[in-house]
């Protein structure tokens, strides 16, 4: 071959390389650089989002229906609960004859949250006997609401139960489970509002004092932004719900007057938190002027104590201890021995750990029975959105790492949780791996849409990479389109995933867009610790749940009860 021909071939190859580089560079620019990192307006966000979704090019799946059945039985409710051993035993029994006590986390944990745990260890070492036989207690850390659910369904039952307040025990009674009080109070505590000092002073100036009446009026008028916790799981959240209803009608907290007052109040509540941590983080970022908390936690946190005023409300949290029905006389004696030991040896420790700090506080609320409490929870579910629907898109990770148990858990949890989504809401479903598929376009969650949603979830298959933020982009676009038709609706995105993003867009590409559009993104990590998803949940005050495959069904049930 001649030198001239060689030169020509080299020129052609060089030209091809240049063209390839230009094309590749243009693709990269189109994929990434078009996204402004300082999105500030809804218009900017909408424009950027449209470009990104166009580049993603989501597919739309052929709809598949599946029959929907909502037969609610004790067996199905029990199946939603995590296995009991997911709740840690923090003080182990040391004898063959013992009583197991389920204890709320502020007493069964570590450090200043370990009051009952420490006393149990001391009691177990003291050599107490019943009928000539050495005895001990086992302390299991079980949140008050979860313990109630276990007992009601019969999935598991302790010998003794010590929730934060007696409201849970009253609800057991309404379900036909009559417990026997060993102590109406083991250690004193109070629920309250935490208000920053500026807003506390403003309430006093405007209303004469900062109390429940002033707070609810200020929130209803849009003068104060409050947060509270899920009344299906949180003792303080349940107390707050009932106390707020009582505030509008003390004689009948379920009356039309009480409901209308609650709806007016709820209209100005930005979100109901899944956890106390979520509330505290929102307050520290300036998204909340106040939130609810127990006094013991407040007293043990020097930052909270220095920045906020504590205003007590509602029923006392005196941490009762009850014996469950049909326990043996020997175990009943063990519970009595342990309660006496706590009376005689635990009060100084209680003071050091922040309990008993507001012993003079007495609730102004009238007594309330368990049936009213259960009805209040149902009322909350029906009225928490104040007549405004929710537009929600679920984003399901079907990457290769989800194959097997994680995807099975995702499918089971979503199908089960459908029953807790009000049918007045608007729901869609997106799946993603390396690419994004619109499995179910957004539509009202009537029986027909539920059938499509269930069919799509059941037919998800895993494989490929993890383009999480591509899925979020498509979901956000679907939400925006739905809001154009339903402008009063509340937007939500739920991301269910197990791994870090390894393809497509990334957090910096979507962070500003979501902030401008104000779409909360709830993330559920399956056996994972996904820092990027936690960060994106924090943008608009949503929760990030680190759910194992053992308890994700229960976690999603509570998430949807609070938000859907």
Residue pLDDT tens, the chain, 564 long: 444 444 444 444 444 443 344 333 333 333 443 444 555 688 889 999 999 999 999 999 998 999 887 655 556 678 888 889 989 999 999 999 999 999 999 999 999 999 999 999 999 999 999 999 999 999 999 999 999 999 999 999 999 999 999 999 999 999 999 999 999 999 999 999 999 888 999 999 999 988 989 998 898 888 888 888 889 888 999 999 999 999 999 999 999 999 989 888 888 777 777 666 667 666 766 667 888 999 999 999 888 888 899 999 999 999 999 999 999 999 999 999 999 999 999 999 999 999 998 999 999 899 999 999 999 998 988 887 766 789 999 999 999 988 988 898 889 888 988 888 888 899 999 999 999 999 999 999 999 999 999 999 999 999 999 999 999 999 999 999 999 999 988 899 999 988 678 888 988 888 899 989 989 898 888 766 567 778 888 888 787 777 666 677 787 787 777 776
42-63+388-563 against 83-189+317-352: fold identical: no
pLDDT of the residue at 35: 46
Contact 155, 294 (CB under 8 A): no
Q: Which residue has the tokens 């070492």?
A: 125
Straight-line distance from the first to the last Cα atom of the chain, in angstroms, rounded to the nearest whole number: 75
Question: Residue 353 corresponds to which tokens in the numbers above?
Answer: 């750990």
Backbone angles phi, psi at 274, to 5 degrees: -80, -30
Contact 467, 432 (CB under 8 A): yes
Question: Which of 139, 144, 84, 86 shows the shortest CA–CA distance to 114?
Answer: 139
pLDDT of the residue at 40: 66
Q: What is the number of helices (H) and of strands (E) in the chain?
A: 23, 19
pLDDT of the residue at 115: 96
Q: Which CATH superfamily is domain 42-63+388-563 in?
A: von Willebrand factor, type A domain (3.40.50.410)
Contact 187, 318 (CB under 8 A): yes
Question: Which of 257, 288, 254 shows the shortest CA–CA distance to 273?
Answer: 288
Q: How far apart are CA 397 and CA 261, in angstroms?
A: 41
CA separation, residue 141 to residues 17, 117, 164 (Å): 64, 9, 12
Asked: is 83-189+317-352 a CATH 3.40.190.10 domain? The reply is yes
Q: How far apart are CA 148 and CA 161, in angstroms?
A: 9
Asked: is 191-315+363-382 a CATH 3.40.50.300 domain? The reply is no
Alpha helices in 312-441 (DSSP H): 329-345, 347-352, 370-383, 405-417
Q: Return the C-alpha torsion angle 299, 300, 306, 307, nearest 10.
A: -90
Question: Domain boundaries in the chain?
Answer: 42-63+388-563, 83-189+317-352, 191-315+363-382
Q: How far apart are CA 431 and CA 424, in angstroms?
A: 23
Strand partners, 133: 130
Secondary structure of residue 250 in the 3-state scheme: coil
Q: Which residue has the tokens 């079907």?
A: 398
Q: Which residue has the tokens 């409201």?
A: 167
Strand partners, 395: 430, 495
Contact 81, 153 (CB under 8 A): yes
pLDDT of the residue at 431: 96
Sequence-separated (6 or more) residues with CB below 8 Å from residue 184: 166, 318, 320
């Amino acid at each position: 071959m001649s030198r001239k021909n060689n030169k020509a071939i080299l020129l052609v190859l060089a030209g091809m390389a240049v063209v390839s580089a230009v094309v590749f560079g243009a693709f990269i620019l189109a994929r990434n650089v078009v996204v402004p990192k300082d999105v500030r307006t809804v218009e900017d966000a909408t424009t950027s989002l449209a470009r990104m979704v166009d580049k993603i090019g989501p597919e739309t799946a052929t709809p598949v229906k599946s029959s929907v059945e909502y037969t609610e039985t004790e067996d199905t409710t029990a199946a939603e609960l995590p296995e009991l051993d997911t709740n840690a035993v923090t003080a182990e029994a040391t004898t063959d004859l013992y009583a197991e006590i389920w204890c709320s986390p502020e007493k069964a944990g570590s450090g200043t949250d370990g009051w009952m745990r420490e006393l149990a260890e001391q009691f177990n070492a003291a050599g107490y006997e019943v009928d000539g036989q050495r005895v001990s207690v086992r302390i299991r850390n079980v949140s008050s609401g979860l313990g109630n659910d276990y007992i009601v369904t019969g999935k598991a039952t302790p010998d003794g139960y010590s929730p934060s307040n007696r409201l849970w025990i009253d609800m057991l009674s309404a379900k036909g489970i009559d417990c026997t009080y060993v102590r109406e109070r083991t250690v004193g505590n109070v629920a309250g509002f935490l208000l920053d000092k500026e807003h506390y002073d403003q309430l006093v100036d405007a209303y004469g004092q900062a109390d429940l009446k002033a707070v609810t009026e200020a929130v209803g008028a849009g003068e104060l932004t409050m947060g509270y916790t899920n009344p299906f799981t949180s003792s303080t959240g349940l107390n707050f719900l009932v106390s707020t209803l009582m505030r509008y009608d003390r004689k009948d907290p379920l009356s039309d007057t009480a409901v209308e007052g609650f709806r007016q109040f709820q209209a100005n509540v930005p979100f109901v938190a899944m956890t106390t941590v979520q509330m505290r983080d929102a307050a520290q970022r300036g998204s909340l002027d106040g939130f609810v908390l127990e006094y013991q936690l407040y007293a043990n946190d020097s930052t909270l104590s220095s920045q906020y005023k504590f205003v007590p409300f509602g029923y006392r949290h005196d941490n009762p201890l009850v014996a469950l029905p049909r326990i043996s006389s020997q175990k009943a004696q063990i519970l009595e021995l342990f309660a006496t030991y706590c009376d005689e040896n635990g009060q100084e420790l209680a003071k050091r750990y922040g309990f008993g700090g507001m012993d003079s506080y007495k609730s102004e609320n009238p007594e309330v029975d368990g049936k009213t409490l259960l009805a209040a929870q149902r009322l909350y579910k029906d009225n928490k959105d104040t007549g405004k629907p929710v537009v929600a898109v679920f984003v399901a990770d079907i990457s290769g790492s989800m194959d097997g148990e994680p995807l099975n858990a995702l499918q089971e949890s979503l199908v089960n949780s459908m029953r807790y989504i009000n049918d007045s809401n608007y729901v869609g479903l997106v799946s993603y791996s390396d690419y994004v598929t619109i499995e179910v376009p957004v539509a009202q969650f009537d029986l027909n849409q539920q059938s499509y949603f269930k069919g799509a979830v059941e037919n998800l298959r895993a494989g490929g990479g993890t383009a999480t933020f591509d899925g979020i982009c498509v979901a956000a676009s679907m939400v925006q389109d739905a809001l154009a038709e339903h402008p009063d609706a509340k937007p939500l995105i739920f991301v269910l995933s197990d791994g870090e993003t390894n393809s497509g867009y990334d957090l910096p590409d979507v962070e500003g867009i979501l902030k401008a559009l104000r779409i909360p993104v709830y993330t559920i990590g399956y056996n994972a610790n996904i820092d990027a998803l936690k960060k994106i949940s924090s943008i608009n005050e949503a929760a990030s749940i680190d759910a194992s495959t053992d308890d994700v069904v229960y976690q999603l049930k509570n998430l949807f009860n609070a938000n859907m």
